[in-house]
């Protein structure tokens, strides 16, 4: 079946929904999502969304800007960061006006709390001097993402936005650098649909499921990354993968940074508050890359706690916070600890380990979410990307907590506005012949395969090797081993056989296609990580432990090269206000 829409948005998380609200009446817009909109991964964000509202204490967007640049280890593009931090205040007020239920302070204003890496100068007259934590994260208990997703979806219902839920997008139709639509499988029926469009936005979220331990939903299979990469469009800064310090031990389920924002403390097996050593000024509120490395170091040096299965964890201690704070401000995560580990955080500390959390890299865009494919800013006409799948880049080498919920509403909106302009000025570019060829062939191959490999086995092996060799600590040898393994798994993937041969709601088939996406995404991550011979933000190379601004203050662009090694190019970092300086906390 062929549909025609002025705008097609893929993904119904915060970025996609916010963009949809910008498509003006009189123009057609379809939002495609592989789950129901309210199931999107935005809903799992817990701790907050930041803006220098100054509701609790003096703050300014410039402080937020400085923190984000420093947090990014100076790889973030400062023009984009400036836009985001400045626009944050408007964006939060807008959400409030849309109906988002925020926690409030005694004055009736949106309540704010501290979060990792968010600071202000101790002495306002000395802006580059010592910094102290600031209350900048706006929140709704520890369900901030949940209520943000609900609010945006509600506003889409109000606007009559047209959704195609449980439509799994498999391909981008692009020719001569002009986007013409997408191909999708309707999961309920197995039918292949072509969506002919003037503009397409990818707001497809992250790829956490490339790794074994992750906070990400099972649907976080890097679909948008892989589809784009396969179509010859580069991916930017894929080596930068965020590991959140506090995932529930063995499960990876997120325990929000808000737990530490409210005063929680990380401890090793001797009960020591080890972050005092690694980040003497802001300690447990240091950025995530710093804390995850500290935790790996503690475990390596024998100060972790070994569980019955031989794996190690550390402790997140909330016992001193009291029932009032825990039950009012952190109810959700307290429930997780109780349900999954049988631990009552009021009485005993929670076993935690770093968990794969967020993709800093992604589809390269400019500040208007327009996809650009090189260092000259050449656009793919009609193609947009926003949210986790995109790389603007506001997060650089390490994202600060609460900046992702901000990123999606700021750049989702900007992208939506640009799409609205584009559809007014352009006609439909014609569809190429056999636009759904790749999808049809892939589906046929998977349904008819008589190979011996199971999807779950290849996926598991991929997740293991990426967790072991391309996570918090990396070396050239380890990454090369992962690359060889990925090559092997790609070969074996050709022999994958699925049990379900039907058309109706065939999740066996969907998972097999997702596995192809995981493999391509992992390839881009591993090659980018091998190539960058320095340590910056979340990318830590034990064989190159220092940041090297002389050679590496630049963004990676990786291009797929069918059956050969990928091609790597670069583009410069935009530096407007803050020159790179030593990053310590």
Known catalytic residues? 288
User: Phi then psi for 271, rounded to 5 degrees?
Assistant: 80, 5
Helical packing angle, 476-493 and 507-531, nearest 10°:
150
- Mapping DSSP onto H, E and C, the string for 348-370 reads CCEEEEEEEEEECCEEEECCCCE
Position among 375, 464, 508, 549 found at the interface with another protein (CB under 8 A): 508
DSSP letters spanning 297-346: HHHHTT-SEE-TTS-EEEEEE-TTSHHHHHHHHSHHHHHHHHHHH---TT
154 counts as binding another protein under rule CB under 8 A: yes
User: Phi then psi for 333, rounded to 5 degrees?
Assistant: -70, -30
Stretch that binds another protein, among 4-12, 79-87, 146-154, 398-406 (CB under 8 A): 146-154
Residue among 144 and 365 whose Cβ is closer to another protein: 144
325 counts as binding another protein under rule CB under 8 A: no
Stretch that binds another protein, among 24-32, 99-107, 229-237, 277-285 (CB under 8 A): 99-107
Tell me how far, at minimum, the Cβ of 66 lies from another protein, in Å. 24
Task: Count residues binding another protein (CB under 8 A).
Answer: 60
Residues 234-263 as x/- pattern, contact with another protein by CB under 8 A: -----------------x-xx---------
97 counts as binding another protein under rule CB under 8 A: yes
321 counts as binding another protein under rule CB under 8 A: no
Which residue's structure tokens are 């990396």? 474
Stretch that binds another protein, among 41-49, 75-83, 417-425, 570-578 (CB under 8 A): 41-49
435 counts as binding another protein under rule CB under 8 A: no
HSE toward the beta carbon, residue 171, CA cutoff 13 A: 22
Query: Distance between CA 110 and CA 557 in Å, rounded?
Result: 40
DSSP letters spanning 38-51: GGSGGGG--S-EE-
Residue among 203 and 479 whose Cβ is closer to another protein: 203
Position among 2, 93, 567, 581 found at the interface with another protein (CB under 8 A): 93
User: Phi then psi for 272, rounded to 5 degrees?
Assistant: -75, 140
Position among 230, 379, 417, 503 found at the interface with another protein (CB under 8 A): 503
Query: Distance between CA 416 and CA 419 in Å, rounded?
Result: 5
Strands 131-133 and 119-121: antiparallel
Query: Distance between CA 201 and CA 19 in Å, rounded?
Result: 9
Tell me how far, at minimum, the Cβ of 143 lies from another protein, in Å. 7
Query: Distance between CA 363 and CA 378 in Å, rounded?
Result: 13
25 counts as binding another protein under rule CB under 8 A: no
507 counts as binding another protein under rule CB under 8 A: yes
Residue among 230 and 454 whose Cβ is closer to another protein: 454
Q: Could you tell me the CA-to-CA distances from 563 to 93, 289, 310, 566, 567 in Å, in that order?
A: 49, 34, 39, 9, 12
Tell me how far, at minimum, the Cβ of 335 lies from another protein, in Å. 8
102 counts as binding another protein under rule CB under 8 A: yes
Position among 27, 473, 505, 559 found at the interface with another protein (CB under 8 A): 505
498 counts as binding another protein under rule CB under 8 A: yes
Q: Could you tell me the CA-to-CA distances from 119 to 59, 65, 167 in Å, in that order?
A: 9, 10, 42
Name residues whose C-beta falls within 8 Å of residue 527's C-beta, 6 or more positions apart in sequence: 483, 558, 565, 566, 568
Tell me how far, at minimum, the Cβ of 70 lies from another protein, in Å. 28
Tell me how far, at minimum, the Cβ of 340 lies from another protein, in Å. 7
150 counts as binding another protein under rule CB under 8 A: yes
* Interaction site with another protein (CB under 8 A): 35-36, 38-41, 43-44, 92-93, 96-99, 101-110, 140-141, 143, 146-147, 150-151, 154-155, 157-158, 188, 217-219, 251, 253-254, 332, 335-336, 339-340, 454-456, 498-500, 502-508
């Amino acid at each position: 079946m062929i549909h025609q829409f002025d705008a097609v948005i893929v993904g119904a998380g915060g970025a996609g929904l916010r963009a949809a609200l910008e498509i003006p009446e009189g123009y057609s817009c379809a939002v495609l999502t592989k789950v129901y909109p309210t199931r999107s991964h935005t809903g799992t964000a817990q701790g907050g969304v930041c803006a220098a509202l100054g509701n609790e204490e003096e703050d300014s967007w410039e402080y937020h800007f400085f923190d984000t640049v420093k947090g990014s280890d100076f790889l973030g593009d400062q023009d984009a960061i400036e836009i985001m931090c400045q626009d944050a205040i408007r964006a939060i007020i807008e959400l409030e006006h849309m109906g988002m239920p925020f926690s409030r302070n005694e004055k009736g204003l949106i309540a704010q709390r501290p979060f990792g890496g968010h600071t202000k100068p101790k002495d306002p007259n000395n802006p580059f001097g010592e910094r102290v934590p600031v209350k900048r994260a706006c929140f709704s208990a520890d369900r901030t993402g949940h209520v943000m997703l609900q609010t945006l979806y509600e506003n889409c219902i109000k606007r009559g936005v047209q959704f195609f839920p449980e439509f799994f997008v498999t391909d981008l139709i692009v020719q001569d650098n002009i986007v013409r639509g997408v191909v999708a499988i309707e999961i309920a029926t197995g039918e292949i649909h072509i969506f002919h469009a003037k503009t397409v936005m990818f707001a497809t979220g992250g790829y956490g499921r490339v790794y074994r331990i992750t906070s990400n939903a099972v649907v976080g299979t890097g679909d948008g990354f892989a589809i784009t990469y396969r179509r010859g469009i580069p991916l930017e800064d894929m080596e930068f993968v965020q590991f959140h310090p506090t995932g529930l031990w063995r499960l990876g389920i997120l325990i929000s940074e808000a737990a530490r924002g409210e005063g929680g403390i990380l401890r090793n097996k001797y009960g020591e508050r080890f972050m005092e050593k690694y980040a003497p000024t802001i300690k447990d509120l240091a950025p995530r890359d710093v804390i995850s490395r500290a935790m790996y170091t503690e475990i390596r040096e024998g100060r972790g706690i070994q569980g019955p299965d031989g794996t190690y964890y550390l402790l997140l201690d909330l016992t001193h916070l009291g029932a009032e704070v825990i039950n009012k401000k952190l109810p959700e995560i307290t429930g997780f600890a109780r349900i999954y580990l049988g631990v009552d955080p009021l009485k005993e500390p929670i076993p935690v380990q770093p968990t794969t959390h967020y993709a800093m890299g992604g589809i390269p865009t400019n500040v208007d979410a327009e996809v650009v494919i090189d260092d000259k800013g050449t656009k793919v006409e009609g193609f947009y990307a926003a949210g986790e799948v995109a790389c603007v880049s506001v997060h650089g080498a390490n994202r600060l907590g609460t900046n992702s919920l901000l990123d999606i509403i700021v750049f989702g909106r900007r992208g939506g506005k640009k799409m609205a302009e584009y559809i007014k000025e352009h006609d439909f570019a014609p569809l190429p012949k056999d636009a759904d060829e790749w999808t049809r062939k892939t589906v046929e191959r998977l349904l008819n395969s008589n190979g011996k490999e199971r999807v779950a086995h290849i996926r598991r092996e991929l997740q293991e090797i990426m967790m072991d060799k391309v996570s918090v600590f990396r070396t050239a040898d380890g990454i090369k081993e992962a690359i060889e393994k990925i090559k092997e798994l790609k070969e074996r993937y050709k022999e994958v056989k699925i049990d379900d041969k039907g058309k109706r709601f065939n999740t066996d088939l969907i998972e097999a296609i997702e596995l192809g996406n995981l493999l391509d995404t992992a390839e881009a991550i591993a090659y980018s990580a091998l190539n960058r011979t320095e340590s910056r933000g979340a990318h830590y190379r034990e064989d190159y432990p220092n940041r090297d601004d002389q050679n590496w203050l630049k963004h990676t662009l990786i291009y797929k090269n069918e059956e050969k090694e990928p091609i790597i190019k670069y583009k410069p970092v935009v530096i407007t206000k803050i020159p790179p300086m030593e990053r310590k906390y």
